[in-house]
Amino acid sequence: MRDYQKFYIDGRWVEPRGREMIEVVNPASEQLMARIPAGVGADAEAAIGAARHAFDGWAATPVAQRQALLEKLRRGLNERAEELAEVITDEVGMPLKMTQRVQVGLPIAVLESTIKLLDDFPFEETIGNSLVLREAVGVVACITPWNYPLHQIVAKLAPALAAGCTTILKPSEVAPCNAFILAELIDAAGFPPGVFNLVSGTGPVVGEVLAAHPEVDMVSFTGSTRAGKRVSELAAATVKRVALELGGKSAAVVLDDADLATAIKGTLNACFLNSGQTCSAHTRLLVPESRYDEAARLATEGARAFTVGDPKGGQAKLGPLVSAAQRERVREHIAKGIAEGAELLCGGAEAPEGLATGYYVQPTVFGRVTPSMTIAREEIFGPVLSILTYRNEEEAIRIANDSPYGLAGAVWSADGERAQRVARRLRTGQVDINGGRFNLLAPFGGYKQSGHGREFGSFGLEEFLEIKSLQL
């Protein structure tokens, strides 16, 4: 068991001000795997003070020096990649092979792309008689989720540190061990004291202090829409910058000329990734009414091929959900789907056969779902796919956009130009066309209640920069 007793503040491992500890549970075994300190307001304030004190020096550090330190961090992550994968699988429950590629491989790739971006990023440019400067926004509080814990941490820290900001990280208390390993690597890389600070704890205690504090210039938050609204509310009093990556209810629109088998295979993969615990999961499958029966059959067959089991056993495609609370939430949504009249095609609320221990849920597909049903409107965050039908292209677009969310989506069609035309009308931050690959240099973020601000590439770096013009 891992036992973390201290916070990382001002370049040192320091004792917490409070005495409470938070227990971290392995979702596959339901056994205690770690303990971390439960931070209090004074811990958050100490971290803020350290970040504020360090800001001027770090912001003035030449870009090449910031690059060099980030490169040392990247090498450190590579060296401990195997350990990180084991830890994150124990924390989150994603199968180990997938964890290696996604949960560890992606953050390393994000860090690498950020380092390369600094080679020629225009921190200064001349426009007419003005010199336009891009300067670090200041002290940044990074509040991160449990579903892709290290990836979401690095997606914020890498551009923030590259921009010259100083940072305080509050990781999710559900999956925090990877953040403590990252702090060890940042310390070993030799970042100046106060540039990075780590305080663990709950959102209502540590998170709210960070969001409200006048010495914090920006909050970058990833999590639920409910929590994001609270962050915005607290941040408004000091008019600080807020970047929010929130929930989603993304639609995959399968047009009438699409290869249905390919489209459904791609949608299931996008829906069930990380056992459905993905904000951009394609959880609504929209198919023509005339092709419903075929779609229902293909989706059922495909879902049953997703084996559920021990994430370190080597065979399972899906591991457990992250916690007992999350499992119950998903089960309640499945029960609502049945109660509201959706057709249960496969899966259900019962535990998968042979898995009495662990927070496992069967991969579930509902058919004959209508846009007004709860399972079509609320983010479930589990392996649950809803199939809706439409009569024509206009109705498909209307149904896809009939959501308070707008994070992601997909369009499938044999005609690439037609697919792009439909994609342009979807009110969402990104759209995959015919299974288009994830691009770490493209902007990621949402419309509507899925948040605002963008991550990755130059778009992510610019989130952490202020713009100043000098008229010459």
Pairing mode of beta strands 218-222, 384-390: unpaired
Catalytic annotation present for 289:
no
Cα(375)–Cα(78) distance, integer angstroms: 40
Catalytic annotation present for 142:
no
Give the active site residue among 279, 346, 379, 463.
279
The answer to whether 38 and 20 have CB atoms below 8 angstroms apart is: yes
Which runs of E-coded beta strand occur in 205-272? 218-222, 241-245, 250-254
Alpha-carbon 222 to chain mean position: 6
Q: Output DSSP code: residue 438.
A: P
Cα(310)–Cα(113) distance, integer angstroms: 33
Smallest CA-to-CA distance from 219 within 440, 48, 449 is with: 48
DSSP 283-334: EEEEEEGGGHHHHHHHHHHHHHTS-B--TTSSS-SB---S-HHHHHHHHHHH
Report phi then psi at 356, rounded to 5.
-75, -25
Give the active site residue among 91, 173, 208, 245.
245
Which distant-in-sequence residues (6+ apart) come within 8 Å of 405 by Cβ? 225, 246, 247, 248, 249, 250, 379, 428, 446, 448, 449, 450
Q: How many CA atoms lie within 13 A of 137 on its CB side?
A: 24
Any idea of the CA torsion for 73, 180, 86, 307, to the nearest 10 degrees? -110
Residues with catalytic function? 245, 279
